[in-house]
Structure 1
Amino acid sequence: MVFSLTSDFQRGEFLYQTIPLTTLPSSVQESPSPRIFTCSSEKGSMDTHPPENNYSVSRPIYSHPTFGSENERQSQDGKTLTDRLRGCCGTGLVCSLQGLAYALLVSVAPVYGLYSAFFPILTYFFLGTSRHISVGPFPVTCLMVGSVVLTLAPDDSFLLPLNDTSVNGTGVDVEAREAQRIIVASTMTVLVGLFQVVMGLLQVGFLVRYLSDPLIGGFTTAAAFHVLISQIRIILSVPTSNHSGFFSVVYTLIDVFNNIDQTNVADLVAGLLTIVSVMAVKEINSKFQHRIPVPIPIEVIVTVVAAGVSYAVDLDSRYGASIVRSIPRGFSPPQIPDTDLFWRMLGSSFSTAVVGYAVAVSVAKVYATKHDYIIDGNQELIAFGVSNVFCGCFSSFVASTALSRTAVQESTGGKSQVAGVVSAVMVLIVITALGNLLEPLQKSVLAAIIVANLKGMFVQVVDVPILWRQNRADCLIWIVTCLASIVLGLDVGLLAGLVFEMGTVVFRTQFPVCSALGNIPGTDIYKNVKNYKNVAEVPGIKIFKCNSPIYFANIDYFKDQLKAAVGFDAVRVFRKQSKALKKIQKLVKKQELRAVENGAVSAISLGADNQGFESLQRVSELATGQAVPKIHIHSLVLDFSAVSFLDVVAAKSLRLVIKEFTRIGVNVYIAGCDDDIIRTLEALAFFDESVTKDLLFLSVHDAVLSIKLESVDGSAEDPSLKKRCKEPPLFTEEEDLIETYDNQHRAIRGLSN
């Protein structure tokens, strides 16, 4: 018994059928290779049709052992459950250590950083749409919260009377200060969450698109610089005042250099060793990421070693090192935010909400693209908003995400937010059981971990020369945002960068690229005549293109560029023609000139002297248009294929331009208008008896062909001359065709009246 695969090409079917061996030809029955399949294009036939209608497919008959022996299986490197749990535990330890470190940026006790690494994960697990990001503290948002904390709870507000001065001589009520600072931080976190929830419910997640990549790059680089300066004083362990606002970086540096002689050597050595170790191992992780199954958790290793050395050597009492000291077990009770502080932190909270969301969504999109799934931006706003409101009620600060922490979670096999929950369990263990083991840890080690993780932000500086070569406007956005954020502070700097970015957009649309187009011979292609040698303008036709929307801010520039392209001012030409015609009318009344059929004039009496002849000749030249600016075109085509919108002022000004050219005999056409532009023109009452839809064409080439056909079919004369003969604009009444419809000009005229 053999199998035959038959195919019916007309029906598009392939059929398997069993054929008894006795029904086959004897040559097939006696075939020494019973493993061969023979296929025919019709059912029940074997080798009975012409070769072009038959085909054959042959392969060995495989059993599983035979197939396995000839085809080796690929090794599957799938991670086991134990491997994934181990990776999630590593991520949890990294979250714990970063939480402890980033608490220094907020100017609160380190334990609150652990809370911030735990609570946001729980709510994001239920509401978030990203499968890979690790939710928790982010240095930029922590620093923004810290600046508000230092502004609303400075040391000067907690000074003690002289008789109550503490042993260390600071004269500051530390407990009251710490309590007030965590209230400020948690209140701001709740307000940030409320802003994010409201924006998510209003579906305004698109607003983050106004934060361009150059703006974000400059802002985060400036934030990294702020973080670096704030952590230098902790690494050196020198006393400084807490500065915030304008020039805070400068004031902090001045304090550091003034007190540099008070540097604690133990803290400095520990900080430098930590920075070198962390950065070196991170480079190894990056270079050998395909060979190392799990990234080396260098932060965890350094922290454990540093805490052990500090405890063994007793760095606190022997060398005066600044250590964490107290990490209480368990959680603080939930507390209601101080709503009286809302009005004092509205602006900073909104900017922090936008920055935190922008960073989180950017990281989420990177991994969503890598793993081929979609995130919902508005749902992410709600998820982070609820997370911040929730964690703000438990003495935490603003949550976002960090690319380094997310990379650790993804590289260790985390494919869903279950990995985040497992890492949260690890943070919970640290909070409830392991926190006291970190009490001997030096703060300079935590500060050094923060500094070592800033490398990715500082590397963005290399983008500046690249941006300068690619787009100088984007490069200026990067530089201005970075400098403004460094000098003026992060919140004001972000606003300044955003305003400058919007200014570049307005500038680029206010001064658009306009060009005169010419035709490539033998084609329907029109290109800028200045860019190509073999492009020539169509005789008698000027084609003008504007590569920008036309609106109130650039309509005057549009008209100036149009005048430069055509080579004359239509209003000036009309005025000179009117003056010449008025002079001719006076001469006609004096019977010194007479009209002839071609529309010109001739002299009736020349007088006896040459001066009279010269005078009449000069007037005759005016009458024939020789003394006015020469018009070399009879048609003007406006290419609007790149115009995306028009406003009221632009439509009225454009209508005025058409009338100005028409009255001097130049026909105006508009080509390439989108349907939306046409609907806008209709809504703005652009068309009337003098400006009709007949001037609209689908393409520039259609307009040019129509103009040529009209000149051929109508007469051999110039179309502009034909129009002048029909209705010569000799003496129009005082038409104010130069009237400006700009609302600002109307307001000025109203005030003057």
Structure 2
Amino acid sequence: MDQKDYPQTVQAFRLAYEYHSGPKVNLLKKFKESITPTKETPFNLFPIARWIRKYKVKKYLLDDVIAGITVAVMHIPHGLAYSQLGSVPPVVGLYMAVFPLIPYVICGTSKHISLGTFAVVCAMAGEIVYTTKSPDKSTEESIQIAAAAALVVGLWQILIYIFRLGSLTIFLSNSLVSGFTTGAAFHVLTYQFKDIFGIHVERLTGPLKLVRYYFQIFRKLKDTNLVTLAMSASFFTLLIVFYYVIKPTMKKKCPKCPVTIPMELIAISIGIMLSYFLKLNEKYGVQIVAHVPKGLPTPKLPDVSVFTKLIIPCFPIAVVAVSINLSLAKIFAKKDGSTIESKQEILAYGVMNICGSFFQCLPVAASLSRSALQYGTGGKTQLATVFSMILIILILLFMGPLFEPVPYCVLSSIVVASILSMIFHIRELPKIFKRSTLDGLVWLSTFLGVVFIDIDYGLLIGFIASIMTLVYMHHCPQFIELGRAHNRKENRDFFLDMIHFKAADDIPNLYIVKLIGCLNFANISHVENKIVKAAKNLELNDQVGYGAAVILDFSSVSYVDPSACDGFGQIWQTLSEMNVRLFMSSFNVKVFTQLEHNQVFCSLPPNRVFQSVQDAVTYATKFDVIETDPTPSK
């Protein structure tokens, strides 16, 4: 027979095609190279130095000015409304639209994300502020704790950058993030009811706190301020009609119109006028903001005495903020055709939170609505953020007291109307379950943990659920029994799944199985049992002229750990004692190297290891008729 027709072992294949192991990776050298400064280091650490030189004034400036002013208009209601979720005065939300953003413009790589207040992160920070401050609950103490929390979150994000822990966010799947944000939105919604009804309800801590909080609300409903409730209902209706009727209609009729109606700011302006001219606070007891200082805050070091209390609870905020920010940055970079540098982004997030902590800010995160607005109004670079900051600074310097008559019920109406879209994510649960039961369980466990236990614990539950789904999926690799089919046009055989393809024929005395997944210490015993059981069940046909054999297809195996390698030695030994031959085939280089390093092929003869399933089948049925396996080494 011609040598070219002889089945090709892996050894022969490597020799024929001049295989080499490739360059060795020196991890220490690689680490030193990563920390050694180069000419590009300043541009990598401060990306503004790169893009500002290429800035096209005539082409970009007007778009950035329009986008910046538009986003600033959105920052005002968001800042005033969301900051109360963090248990701090409304003016802090305006500070968050300025001071943390300065270092991001210098260090960030995304052109479009709008950072500042974000409902979920503010709510998480608010939980920390409420549980950490003393019983007298002074506003000044709340601000100090909030600033300290921002500093700790920033330090955590710097550590994530230094130790390259950004990969942690890969475990925050879409299902986990969706379940988490939906559950957190229920927290945000719940804490607005006291301002919507104009009643006083103490925040609670511990498991089932939302359920207990609702009981408190129901007991206090008799004290509802009817004027406050009427205003809440009116403004909520106005915003809902705008969000779900007017805005979609405008978008449908004029999809390219860059003009956006700032309905939240209009609502606040109407609220200010009603409150001021009707004296709602003095005559009807409607709660208002009351004090918005004019000017900018003096920078000062946050209170370090509470650091030890904040280290653990601030870590989830750091991870959630990084995950949300990176997700939005990638979404808009994809739309724009640009790229972002994830590691540099994480560094920028850490620096901006540290900077914000010196100006009384809560932890900062990106907002989808503001980012979409900045992109939709034509913003080309983060210079749009600079123009947004300038406008907010002017408002703080000259117009701060104008916001003092704003009723809290108007701010709460804005919050509730804004987060309804997040709450409506619960409608996606049946679709998620239909797509994947495991993803559905991750979503549901995260959501229930957030709602019924706490935001932080819910995130932990979701994280554990995600890990468990990965463990479950990798615990038992798939076994696909293959049969031979014939392609008449090309006159060649190929192998198909026998369960799903009727054209695949069983080969007498052979069990061909494709292994799919990762083979490790946790599942190798299952693999061994499955293969040995299949070998015992082989229906032997003495007429075919060759003995029984098991052929393993490794083409879909991604990893084999040392325990699994030892297991294959045991499988070969067991099959040899049963007079069943074992063949292995179709390795990728990584898996073959792992098996080779763990001396699997020291026991297995070279003519048992083939480049393809076809080669193994050909050898097993035509060339290995008389030969028997040698006695396995103990």
TM-score by length of 1: 0.72
* Counterpart selection for 1:681 from 571, 584, 595: 595
* Counterpart selection for 2:108 from 128, 131, 134: 128
Per-residue deviation at 1:295?
Answer: 1.4
* Counterpart selection for 2:494 from 507, 513, 525: 525
Measure the CA separation in 2 of the matches of 1:246 and 1:465: 27
Give the match for residue 34 of structure 2.
Answer: none
Look up the equivalent residue of 2:581 and give its one-letter code.
N
Look up the equivalent residue of 1:277 and give its one-letter code.
L
Give runs of aligned pairs for residues 198-237 of structure 1, distance below 5 A: 198-237=159-198
* Counterpart selection for 1:332 from 277, 287, 297: 297
Measure the CA separation in 2 of the matches of 1:650 and 1:723: 25
Aligned 8 A contact 1:87 1:294 in 2: no
Give the match for residue 94 of structure 1.
Answer: 74
Give the match for residue 549 of structure 2.
Answer: 635
- Pairs aligned (count): 565
* Counterpart selection for 1:285 from 247, 253, 258: 247
Measure the CA separation in 1 of the matches of 2:169 and 2:348: 16
Give the match for residue 451 of structure 2.
Answer: 486
Give the match for residue 746 of structure 1.
Answer: none
Per-residue deviation at 1:394?
Answer: 0.9
Higher relative contact order (CA 8 A, sep 6+): 2
Give runs of aligned pairs for residues 3-14 of structure 1, distance below 5 A: none
Aligned 8 A contact 1:285 1:292 in 2: no
Measure the CA separation in 2 of the matches of 1:216 and 1:564: 42
Give the match for residue 516 of structure 2.
Answer: 547
Measure the CA separation in 2 of the matches of 1:80 and 1:197: 32
Q: Counterpart of 2:517 in 1: which secondary structure?
A: coil
Aligned 8 A contact 1:468 1:475 in 2: yes
Look up the equivalent residue of 2:106 and give its one-letter code.
F
Look up the equivalent residue of 1:526 and give its one-letter code.
F
Residue 691 in 1 paired to residue 596 in 2? no
Per-residue deviation at 1:475?
Answer: 1.1
* Counterpart selection for 1:516 from 481, 504, 522: 481
Measure the CA separation in 2 of the matches of 1:272 and 1:524: 72
Change (3 A) 1:217 1:223: same
Give the match for residue 561 of structure 2.
Answer: 647
Give the match for residue 418 of structure 2.
Answer: 453
Structure 1: state its 5+ residue gaps: 1-77, 159-173, 570-624, 626-631, 738-753
Measure the CA separation in 1 of the matches of 2:547 and 2:100: 70
Aligned 8 A contact 1:132 1:367 in 2: yes
Identity of aligned residues (%): 30
Look up the equivalent residue of 2:203 and give its one-letter code.
N
Give the match for residue 98 of structure 2.
Answer: 118
Residue 258 in 1 paired to residue 171 in 2? no
Per-residue deviation at 1:568?
Answer: 4.3
Per-residue deviation at 1:86?
Answer: 4.4
Look up the equivalent residue of 2:397 and give its one-letter code.
T
Per-residue deviation at 1:84?
Answer: 5.5
Give the match for residue 294 of structure 1.
Answer: 259
Per-residue CA deviations over 1:94-150 (Å, capped at 9, x if unaligned) read 112211111110111111111112112211111110111111111111011001111
Change (3 A) 1:84 1:193: closer
Give the match for residue 581 of structure 2.
Answer: 667
Aligned 8 A contact 2:516 2:557 in 1: yes
Per-residue CA deviations over 1:643-672 (Å, capped at 9, x if unaligned) read 111111111111101111012211101111
Per-residue CA deviations over 1:516-575 (Å, capped at 9, x if unaligned) read 111113443222212222211211111122211110111122123224433449xxxxxx
Runs of 4 or more, structure 1, over 4 Å off, are: 78-84
Change (3 A) 1:268 1:565: farther
Change (3 A) 1:291 1:640: closer
Aligned 8 A contact 1:147 1:245 in 2: no
Change (3 A) 1:527 1:426: same
Per-residue deviation at 1:179?
Answer: 1.3
* Counterpart selection for 2:622 from 705, 709, 713: 709
Give the match for residue 21 of structure 2.
Answer: none
Per-residue deviation at 1:337?
Answer: 2.1
Give the match for residue 628 of structure 1.
Answer: none
Measure the CA separation in 2 of the matches of 1:301 and 1:377: 37
Per-residue deviation at 1:388?
Answer: 0.2
Residue 559 in 1 paired to residue 539 in 2? no
Aligned 8 A contact 1:515 1:565 in 2: no
Measure the CA separation in 1 of the matches of 2:383 and 2:64: 11
Give runs of aligned pairs for residues 280-429 of structure 1, distance below 5 A: 280-283=241-244, 284-289=246-251, 290=255, 292-429=257-394
Change (3 A) 1:677 1:299: same
Look up the equivalent residue of 2:572 and give its one-letter code.
I
Change (3 A) 1:178 1:544: same
Give runs of aligned pairs for residues 24-39 of structure 1, distance below 5 A: none
Per-residue deviation at 1:291?
Answer: 5.3
Give the match for residue 462 of structure 1.
Answer: 427
Measure the CA separation in 2 of the matches of 1:524 and 1:461: 50
Measure the CA separation in 2 of the matches of 1:291 and 1:375: 26
Aligned 8 A contact 2:517 2:556 in 1: yes
Look up the equivalent residue of 2:404 and give its one-letter code.
E
Measure the CA separation in 2 of the matches of 1:86 and 1:311: 31
Per-residue deviation at 1:180?
Answer: 1.2
Measure the CA separation in 2 of the matches of 1:149 and 1:562: 58
Look up the equivalent residue of 2:127 and give its one-letter code.
S
Change (3 A) 1:419 1:341: same
Aligned 8 A contact 1:192 1:398 in 2: yes
Change (3 A) 1:468 1:130: same
Aligned 8 A contact 1:294 1:411 in 2: no
Per-residue CA deviations over 1:20-66 (Å, capped at 9, x if unaligned) read xxxxxxxxxxxxxxxxxxxxxxxxxxxxxxxxxxxxxxxxxxxxxxx
Q: Counterpart of 2:96 in 1: which secondary structure?
A: helix
Aligned 8 A contact 1:510 1:557 in 2: no
Aligned 8 A contact 1:544 1:565 in 2: no
Measure the CA separation in 2 of the matches of 1:246 and 1:524: 62
Measure the CA separation in 2 of the matches of 1:450 and 1:505: 36
Q: Counterpart of 1:525 in 2: which secondary structure?
A: strand
Aligned 8 A contact 2:532 2:571 in 1: no
Give the match for residue 32 of structure 2.
Answer: none
Look up the equivalent residue of 1:247 and give its one-letter code.
L
Aligned 8 A contact 2:227 2:286 in 1: yes
Change (3 A) 1:525 1:456: farther
Calculate the aligned-residue CA RMSD, in Å: 2.3
Give the match for residue 18 of structure 2.
Answer: none
Per-residue deviation at 1:209?
Answer: 1.4
Per-residue CA deviations over 1:553-612 (Å, capped at 9, x if unaligned) read 11122123224433449xxxxxxxxxxxxxxxxxxxxxxxxxxxxxxxxxxxxxxxxxxx
